[in-house]
Structure 1
């Protein structure tokens, strides 16, 4: 990597109450085979020991900023991007970590392909375990066997907001692409949607990003996740309707309907487990196919009782 090694990468890490994970995440960046990096950490008023851990880090490659008030991850990421001086910006969540060759492989691919944004696959790993149980591409039934540009319709239909991009900083500054600071859930999806509306995103087959699924994470709390995604998509459609192409609006509305159906399904299962019979009956009336799940649930209970 003779040419690519000349391009500095600014790694943006936002932190909030991650005392258990931040040093592991940070170490995965410092171990990168690609050495021309700066690390920008923005702490969002952590109330645990995260701030003390950060204050005791002594490394000239690491710049640390502390928000005066809790602003949320979008504000903190935007702040990190503003402070960045690298040609490229890479986002790392503070409880996740990278394989040692991630930057080398991704920067080599982005400069070889002459695109502004690149994403690799993501390995899903349950907290405390070592091996992934799946990947993002597998879970979305995406077969990427070579570097491939992703069209905006596939991005929306497959709901690929979990992708962790490496971006040309000039590209996002020039197009005024920022994380939506008013959005609590789904800000990654909306950010990448804006990226795709302005340019090309390249996917590479292998995953060098490790996503830690821990108790309380959005991936494991479907109700909060779908409620947040429904709100953020609804607000985006309402606020940006004059600028969003019609075909994109149609795709987003279809995605919105899928999330509403999934939320209804999640709530239905919760009602059954809590024996809220009236709510269960009301949902079956509107969604008759839910009765099959109820029959299966009751059968499993009777089977256990019979033993």
Structure 2
């Protein structure tokens, strides 16, 4: 019997993209699906566009604006599927994405998370991500996190995964306190409850790079940075609950270092809080999170001094240095 796939899509003012997103779901070669659309208080024409579809597999709900994590949790409550596909309202699934992942699921079962190949869209042109090959194989849990933290800026986003209900029910849902990196925080918990990641090479997913005013582009207030640090603190707690102490502390340090190196020099009190958490894990300083040159300079002068040099360069107070920190 073919498992039912629940596709959950929170929507907030997404009139420009939601039609393409829904069409990519309805056009799947795997047809045993339900599409749960949660309108999170949109004020544009999103509702009109959604209601323009006539397909019994589409289930539409409208709630007061509560944020994407609440909307996804609402969708989980309404879902009846054996498998979960989360999408942002501007994502696009390749036609055979679900069919491929379901086929691997039928071979490997409920204890695994299912990945694939990620692409992006700019100006309606689709391209595959380059330099993501390290993800493109079956991965053990610890191996996945080490690769994710090692490869600067290369992360899977929400729509890549297909999740068995059994794993979804082992978590407390999407954490509504996480405004930045909520997908990374959520899927880290799912993966830590699994036996590993099964790579599905025919499964392709596209996210949009050219969407204005996404939350991740609005680092303009302290509460955003607080939420961002909180997301990485959650990684630490999950590692400590799930992995052996040595591995948990190592990966916890790497997670907190992502925040430290990417948020420097903003909000020194939060940077100090991050450092304090790293010291509780048994380390004196953050690890270098960045490009090869940044890591090399950090190895010579230390992470903080390397970050100071980078800040001066970004402000134009240093002579141009080819390839620095990239």
**Is the Cα contact below 8 Å between 2:101 and 2:203 reproduced in 1?**
no
Q: Which secondary structure state, in structure 1, belongs to the residue aligned with residue 241 of structure 2?
A: coil
1:289–1:22 Cα change, 3 Å = same
Match of 1:152 in 2: 142
Determine if the alignment matches structure 1 residue 182 to structure 2 residue 158.
no
Residue of structure 1 equivalent to 2:257? 257
Match of 1:197 in 2: 192
Answering whether residue 88 of structure 2 is matched by residue 93 of structure 1, we say yes
Q: 1:215 aligns with which of 208, 212, 217?
A: 212
Aligned length: 272
SS at match of 1:142: helix
CA distance in 2: counterparts of 1:294 and 1:57, whole angstroms: 48
- Higher mean displacement: 74-83 or 241-250: 241-250
Q: Could you tell me whether the CA contact under 8 Å between 1:14 and 1:94 is conserved in 2?
A: yes
Which residue is 1:229 aligned to? Answer: 228
Aligned-pair CA distance for 1:186: 1.4
- Report if aligned partners of 1:161, 1:188 keep a CA contact under 8 Å in 2: no
Structure-2 change in CA distance of 1:263 and 1:288 (3 Å): closer
Choose the corresponding residue for 1:61, options 54, 57, 63. Answer: 57
Aligned to 1:290: 310
Deviation readout 1:4-36 (Å, 9 max, x if unpaired): xx2211111110110111111000111111111
* CA offsets 1:196-250 (integer angstroms, 9 cap, x no match): 2211322233551011112334666677887753232135647x68735433243
What 5-or-longer segments of structure 2 have no aligned partner?
150-154, 268-303, 321-326
CA distance in 2, matches of 1:210, 1:120: 11
User: SS of the counterpart of 1:13?
Assistant: strand
CA contact (8 A) 1:161 1:186 kept: no
Partner of 1:7: 3
TM-score (norm 1): 0.75
CA 42–292 in structure 1, closer or farther in 2 if over 3 Å, else same: closer
2:134 equivalent in structure 1: 142
More divergent stretch after superposition (255-264 vs 72-81): 255-264
Deviation at 1:286, TM superposition (A): 7.4
The separation in 2 between residues aligned to 1:139 and 1:25, in whole angstroms, is 26
Asked whether the equivalents of residues 16 and 46 of structure 1 are also in contact (C-alpha less than 8 Å), the reply is yes
Instruction: Kindly name which structure, 1 or 2, has the bigger radius of gyration based on alpha carbons.
Output: 1
Alpha-carbon separation, structure 2, partners of 1:186 and 1:288: 25
Question: Is the alpha carbon distance of 1:43 and 1:58 closer, same or farther for their aligned partners in structure 2, counting shifts above 3 Å?
Answer: same
Contact 1:156-1:255 at 8 Å conserved across structures: no
User: CA–CA distance in 2 between the matches of 1:191 and 1:207?
Assistant: 21
- Structure 1 residue 299 displacement after superposition: 5.0
Instruction: Check conservation: 1:157, 1:255, Cα contact below 8 A.
Output: no
The range that moved more, 74-83 or 150-159, is 150-159
Contact kept in structure 2, 1:10 and 1:39, CA below 8 Å: yes
Tell me, yes or no, if structure 1 residue 73 matches structure 2 residue 53: no
